[in-house]
Amino acid sequence: MKRAIRPAVLIALAYVLIGAGWILFSDMALEHMVSDPQLAATLQTIKGWLYVGLTGLLLFFLLVKALTYIEQLNQRDSLTGLLRPYLFTRYLEDSLDACQKNQQHLMLVCLDIDGFKEANRLLGYAGGDTLLRQLAVALKHHYHADDLIARLGTDQFALAKVLTEPQDDIESHAVELNQLFSAVVREFDLTLSCSVGLAKFPRDARNGQELLFAAQSALKEAKRSGQGMIRQFNQALSETERERQALLKDLRHTIDNDKLSLVYQPQFSVDDGGLTGCEVLVRWNCPQRGFVGPDVFIPLAERNNLISGITAFVVRQANKELSGAGLLGTSIHRVSVNISAQEFNSEKLMAALMRMLNQSPQLYPYLQLEITETAALSDLAASVRLLTRLREQGLKFSIDDFGTGYSSLAMLKNLPIDEIKIDKDFIHDLLDQPRVRAIVEAVTTMAHSLDISVVAEGVETQAQLEQIRFCGCHEVQGYLTARPMNIDHLKEFVRSQWSTSAVNLSHHET
């Protein structure tokens, strides 16, 4: 504000001085030149109007200049001087109208810096800003004044260019842009890359909004494929993305309204067929879509930060259903709940999970958390610390899908765990592949000596059961002994088991 006062005071002062000078000198000149009082009065009036007219004109030009400047300030990005999204889309629509009239084609490129956070960390915020500014300068320098260049987000830029040749290979423009970007970051001694999404008018869209959506979808696809990638818009991919978004919306609604449900799959002792515990599995029966498998919606939830909502539901509901059915501590002594890698590796999500577990006091003493090998391996030392701490708080841990990772034996050696679950694929290959049998046998023997229990998962046939018995596995879970079932069926199942005391593991047909 203070910076604005000085020029304003100067302009007002100049106005007063010019005005006073004008009045003083023009009156004196008039007095000198005109002796007829009548004519003098008329000239005075004209002089007054002239003054009003001239100052009005001056005021008009000053205002136009100031307002244009303010408008530009709002529409140009203050850091880079590039167009802001609003003005960019307006100009883009104008360009597309012109393209339509002249039957020209236009290319829209969206560029996003990969891992810009890291650049900010290395260069500091001021350095990061300089990098963005330099990139903007390079873009302005490289492209024509008619090309539209905008900054769409912190580290995201867009470029719209009318193509001289309709068949122009737009990917070559993206490669050029990539090289330009590399040249800029090289000056900062960085090895950053950027992802590029491309769309073409009229091939991919009918208007500016659609074209921008198309280029952004292509950019998302490029990001998904890795770093430094270039992708063109693809109609089929975009429909998949739309479907994914719709599924995500339904899933979010289902979680928010507690509309998921649970099934329980019993586990049995290989020795005596007694019920040892159960695994809780989540189900989504969507009224519109029908049954959606956890293999579909769990990864979707993980990618979109919804997984802790699902785990919270699973723990709460399992606590309610199992204790309500009177099964905890009577027939069921261990309840396994799946924890996703994303949760296990996040301090914040694990703290939220612990709060949730503490609110489920009936279930807590029987809980066993299943984590995958890859989750525990991402930082083995941190996993050892976390598992040790949580086991001190009475929790048990199982390694799910054991054998699918690369360092299974290192895990056995280092991790304080209670159980491993041999992956279904191993069980499946047990009969035909002697090497698999040798591995399962060796792992079981080693686990045994470390006091770690071994569960064979996905056992479907009596022959597989015989093999796992032969390998020394302690427990079995699979369609052969029991399929996953809802709480009412589980109650019924347990009651019928009660009369026979255990499943008869030796008399099942293959």
Give contact residues for Ca ion (rule: CB under 5 A): 338, 370, 400-401
- Which listed residue (180, 281, 325, 352) binds ligand C2E by CB under 6 A? 281
- Total residues in contact with ligand C2E, by rule CB under 6 A: 20
- Cα atoms in the Cβ-side hemisphere of radius 13 Å centred on 205: 27
Question: Residue 504 Cβ, how far from ligand C2E at the closest point, in Å?
Answer: 18
Secondary structure in 3-state letters for 113-156 = ECCHHHHHHHHHHHHHHHHHHHHHHHHHHHCCCCCEEEEEECCE
Angle subtended by helix axes 434-449 and 462-471, to nearest 10: 50
Sequence-distant (≥ 6) Cβ neighbours of residue 124 within 8 angstroms: none
Minimum distance from CB of 153 to ligand C2E (Å)? Answer: 32
Q: Which stretch binds ligand C2E (CB under 6 A): 212-220, 379-387, 437-445, 457-465?
A: 457-465
CB 270 within 8 A of CB 474: yes
Q: Work out whether 398 is an interface residue with ligand C2E (CB under 6 A).
A: no
Q: Which is nearer to ligand C2E, 136 or 262 (CB)?
A: 262
- Give the C-alpha separation, 471 to 444, whole Å: 7
Binding status of residue 479 toward ligand C2E by CB under 6 A: yes
The nearer residue to Ca ion, 112 or 401, going by C-beta atoms, is 401
Examine residue 509 and tell whether it contacts ligand C2E (CB under 6 A). no
Instruction: For the CB of residue 404, give the shortest distance to Ca ion in the complex, in Å.
Output: 9
CB of 401 to ligand C2E, least distance (A): 6
Report the partner that residue 81 touches, choosing among Ca ion, ligand C2E, none (CB closer than 5 to 8 A by kind).
none
Alpha helices in 226-256 (DSSP H): 235-256
321 interacts with ligand C2E by CB under 6 A: no
Longest dimension (CA), the chain: 135
Given a contact cutoff of 8 angstroms between Cβ atoms, the answer to whether 260 and 254 are in contact is yes
* In contact, 428 and 436? CB cutoff 8 Å: no
**Rounded Cα gap, residues 135 and 183, in angstroms:** 9
d(CA 376, CA 353): 17
| SS3 state at 181 | helix
Q: Which residue in the set 219, 298, 363, 436 belongs to the binding site for ligand C2E (CB under 6 A)?
A: 298
Asked if 338 touches ligand C2E (CB under 6 A), the answer is yes
Among 80, 156, 265, 408, binds ligand C2E (CB under 6 A): 265
Q: Judged by CB under 6 A, does residue 400 bind ligand C2E? A: yes
Indicate whether 335 belongs to the interface with ligand C2E (CB under 6 A). no
Q: What is the dihedral of CA 97, 98, 102, 103, to 10 degrees?
A: -40
Q: Which residues bind ligand C2E (CB under 6 A)?
A: 265, 281-282, 293-295, 298, 310, 314, 338, 340, 400-401, 424, 458-460, 478-479, 484
